[in-house]
Structure 1
Amino acid sequence: MAEYKCSNCGKIVTLDEIGLKAKCPHCSNRVLIKLRPKIVKKVQAR
């Protein structure tokens, strides 16, 4: 599940909470930063 961090209030918001509005449900800020996944991918070099 994608998680976003509000640039104004700093709350972590999931995609289910946002919906199609693209607004923070806590402070109505429109700038959301997508968080990186916690799993690190390892790629072998050729």
Structure 2
Amino acid sequence: MTPARRHVLAGFRRTLLAVGVLGLILLALSSQDSASNAVQSPSE
């Protein structure tokens, strides 16, 4: 493997990691919102 290719793979892996973390955060926020909405709706 050439150093350039390894560098590209490292950057790609870092990008995938960042996307995965962002996705998890968005999922956590959306599930939190739906949970709070479910809690609020019966009280109305």
Task: Give me the TM-score of the superposition, normalised by structure 2.
Answer: 0.21
Q: Which has the higher strand share?
A: 1
Task: Give me the TM-score of the superposition, normalised by structure 1.
Answer: 0.20
Bigger RCO (CA 8 Å, 6+ sep)? 1
Q: Which has the higher helix share?
A: 2
